[in-house]
Amino acid sequence: MTSLLGPADASDPTALLPTISQATQRLTATARDLADDEWTAPSLCAGWSRGHVLAHVALNAEAIAGVVRGLAGEGAPMYPSAEVRDADIATLAAAGPNAVRERLARSSADLSIAFPSLLKASPDSVFEITPGSASRSAGMLALMRLREVEIHHADLDLDATWEAWPESTAAAFIAYDAPGWAGAPVRLVADDVEGATWTIGAPRGEDVLEVRGPLRALAWWISGRDASAVLSSSSGELPKLEA
């Protein structure tokens, strides 16, 4: 795996906070300036309008803040269940643009207050997305939040796109998503950054497929989005993502 990890430094779980703050400011500005009649337009997330995406980002901030504060006690999953999470998103999205804007601003501010307490958490602290799901390191909560803000900002299908991500951010996103790849081994090669490669997946005795293209496009693709226009595969066809 490449050493170009950028901000994904687990030794300081708060190192990303200025980057998160800047990304959040850009997203809240987009939400503020988005005309009310544009909120119901489709996003790049299947089945979700732009309002749904922004509602999700707002509620995600609340969920992560709850996890951060819970690390000092018994802890709790981010969401009671996937069904409850989706229902809450639908409810908030239906409440209208002003309700979502207010919730996004308030929850983001609340999370910024909670995040510094990560420094007091044990390096071995873990959490779950939903009860019974795989445990994740609490040291990755800040990177998780940055992904939510940046990727979903691009999902709004407006001016903000993955092409504007800093190299370090894109590399950190790949490093975050790579362990979730359950398919045959694939080598990711960023042809615009020297030495930036990742090999993901479990060896199965077959040749390693190579997916090549711009670093930022690789980060967008491994998150489950379409970057086929600028990526190429040694097999002639991009592999289907398996999570």
**Which SS3 state, helix, strand or coil, does residue 234 take?**
coil
Q: What is the DSSP letter of 122?
A: -
Give me the sheet containing 232-233, strands edge to edge.
197-200, 186-190, 209-213, 232-233
Write the pLDDT tens digit of every residue in 166-182.
Answer: 999 999 999 999 988 88
Please name the residue that has the structure tokens 């060896």.
203
What does pLDDT average to over the chain? Answer: 91
For the entire predicted model, the pTM comes to 0.92
Two structure tokens written together for 61: 């901030």
Two structure tokens written together for 7: 């901000």
Asked whether 231 and 217 are in contact (CB, 8 A), the reply is yes
Alpha carbon 9 to chain centroid, angstroms = 16
Place 4 in a pLDDT band, splitting at 50, 70 and 90. Answer: very low
Percent of the chain having pLDDT more than 90? 77
